[in-house]
Amino acid sequence: MCGIVGVVGNTNATDILIQGLEKLEYRGYDSAGIFVAGDASSQLVKAVGRIAELAAKTEGVEGTAGIGHTRWATHGKPTEDNAHPHRSETERFVLVHNGVIENYLEIKEEYLSGHHFKGQTDTEIAVHLIGKFVEEDGLSTIESFKKALRIIRGSYAFALMDSEDASTIYVSKNKSPLLIGLGDGYNMVCSDAMAMIRETNQYMEIHDQELVIVKADSVEVQDYDGNVKERDSYTAELDLSDIGKGTYPYYMLKEIDEQPTVMRKLIQAYTDDKGQVTVDAKIIKAVQEADRIYILAAGTSYHAGFASKKMLEELTDTPVELGISSEWGYGMPLLSKKPLFVFISQSGETADSRQVLVKANELGIPSLTVTNVPGSTLSREADHTMLLHAGPEIAVASTKAYTAQIATLAFLAKAVGEANGNEKAKAFDLVHELSLVAQSIESTLSEKEVIDEKVAALLSETRNAFYIGRGQDYYVAMEASLKLKEISYIQCEGFAAGELKHGTIALIEDGTPVIALLSDPVLASHTRGNIQEVVARGAKVLTIAEENVAKEGDDIVLNNVHPYLSPISMVVPTQLIAYFATLHRGLDIDKPRNLAKSVTVE
């Protein structure tokens, strides 16, 4: 979702901005633009569609400083007029923005009568406001920016330039992510470190409601009252190969294939020299002190919470409740006396989850963030963090983060259970079981061609499909159906197999694809009964079964793994099903329409 990149003090400004925007493409966008300034001139270039279309328009655009933006439309359609950067009334000030300004219409009415706007965005109003304070009221650029920041309500990451001064970029943030990158003789700003990793691995955080003055050789952080703040830089543990596709046609396939390695990395990260599971004692204590764990998340991460619920409850002896972040942001249910909020978030930036975390912090509720991104907003603002160690996930459709989330929560459950003397936790040899999961994934990955053929026969033409399962398999069905629908656009629902007959079975007709998940020895025979019910109504069924419940004729058979971890192994063929179904339909697997990787607006 919207991305920002900026550079000051580098003669390759155009190239750096375009390359940075390409690295931000994965976040999702529908138009883009750059503003580049040098000593004598400046240029603004915008395009609807892909960065390649913007790049094609930038030949001859040169300068030493600039700001660029990928826009995911919120206020106004994806047009060039609505694409950022936006300019003030006299076109002197230029602004890019990520977030949503809540009071933009009030600002327009109160301060900007007589101004002319090219598009419908909230951002254009912000830059007109800043420009007005300089051009009409005589304030300095910095005073004007501060005055505007005090008026603006909502979420924002702003990068502002004065086209008469190519030496400075002014930035500020509130709730939306933004980082400073420190180069050699030049400096940068960006929405995430990946946009700048080619140039630098030295970064500096910006906190909410700070204003930063970025020049080629200096970075000054201030609060809105002008008090200067000291800020150390840090080194990001990313390298360029982490964010490349290598020989893969799509990031999604690369990330699916990385899952056995991620399982092994997690074993390394959460075991000590003696191979014993180890989790920060403060986190174990936080769970021990809680009388209920509330998992808050969105989308795939929410599904990972479901898939981990039984394991967490049985091993920690603590009830687990799930909440959709966007629902809880506006209304929390009656909480237990000693709640612990666990935020699951690949990006660590999801605005819906952050909104709940802000409320939890106000209420003094302890919190843990389980995330793939160290230093992300949810990580910084929660009391504790557990990292997923999955490496950057670039494809919009989350795969390795989902499996890493369940595995990470398994380490938490095991560590707390052992500390509590829980018998099941003591008997659960997680390191061994997770190694078996890694092997099971590898064996599924070696069956790609078979899966591809079955998908071609089942899903090439259909408009809709169903996943069914019971128990843990139902939770995997929810995730499997999200994966299929978000990239192939096949309308797909994941159902508890026993629920079909209470309404949904009415949708089954001749040829409707139904994919059944079978891993639980007690529940599998019941799901097989439900398979018969849909077959009798004409459904085309594909079965994915673990060896212990497999029968002759099952389509995809997986190695047995520990029941707590079966969602990790069961989801992998469904990820491949989504991948191949999308490939056969000729769609952009990594960048599905309308979606953003990092959902930084509510």
Nearer to ligand F6R, 300 or 422 (CB): 300
Catalytic site includes residue 2:
yes
Nearer to ligand F6R, 288 or 361 (CB): 361
Smallest distance from ligand F6R to CB 456, Å:
23
Nearer to ligand F6R, 122 or 352 (CB): 352
Residue facing ligand F6R at closest CB distance: 299
Q: How does 222-254 read in b/e, with b if 16+ C-beta sit within 10 Å?
A: beeeeeeeebeeeebebeeeebeeeeeebbbbb
Report how far residue 232's alpha carbon sits from residue 419's, in angstroms, rounded to the nearest whole number.
37
**DSSP per position, 66-86:** EEEEEE--SSS-S-TTTSSPE
Report how far residue 343's alpha carbon sits from residue 377's, in angstroms, rounded to the nearest whole number.
11
Query: β-strand 513-518 against 464-469: which pairing, if any?
Result: parallel
Smallest distance from ligand F6R to CB 572, Å:
14
Smallest distance from ligand F6R to CB 339, Å:
20
Neighbours of 507 (CB within 10 A): 15
76 Cβ partners below 8 Å, 6+ apart? 82, 119, 120, 121
Please state, in angstroms and as integers, the Cα–Cα distance from residue 240 to each residue in 131, 237, 244, 451, 589, following that order: 39, 10, 6, 31, 22
**DSSP per position, 265-301:** HHHHHTB-TTS-B---HHHHHHHHH-SEEEEEE-HHH
Nearer to ligand F6R, 85 or 305 (CB): 305
Report how far residue 26's alpha carbon sits from residue 44's, in angstroms, rounded to the nearest whole number.
23
Report how far residue 517's alpha carbon sits from residue 527's, in angstroms, rounded to the nearest whole number.
8
**Which is the catalytic residue, given 254, 309, 591, 597?**
597
Chain residues that interact with ligand F6R, rule: CB under 6 A: 298-301, 345-347, 350, 353, 397-398, 482, 486, 599
Report how far residue 166's alpha carbon sits from residue 216's, in angstroms, rounded to the nearest whole number.
10
Nearer to ligand F6R, 168 or 350 (CB): 350
> What's the Rg (C-alpha) of the chain?
25
User: What is the token pair recorded at 274?
Assistant: 């003696």
369 Cβ partners below 8 Å, 6+ apart? 342, 343, 345, 348, 357, 376, 378, 379, 381, 382, 384, 385, 386
User: What is the token pair recorded at 218?
Assistant: 């200096």
Smallest distance from ligand F6R to CB 353, Å:
6
Nearer to ligand F6R, 398 or 422 (CB): 398
Smallest distance from ligand F6R to CB 486, Å:
6
Residue among 414, 386, 385 at smallest CA distance from 308: 414
Nearer to ligand F6R, 2 or 171 (CB): 2
Give me the count of residues in the chain.
602
Smallest distance from ligand F6R to CB 587, Å:
15
Residue among 570, 281, 546, 271 at smallest CA distance from 410: 271
Burial classification of residue 346, based on how many CB atoms lie within 10 Å of its CB (0-12 exposed, 13-18 middle, 19 or more buried): buried
Report how far residue 417's alpha carbon sits from residue 371's, in angstroms, rounded to the nearest whole number.
22
Nearer to ligand F6R, 6 or 305 (CB): 305
Nearer to ligand F6R, 299 or 513 (CB): 299
- Which residues are known to be catalytic? 2, 597
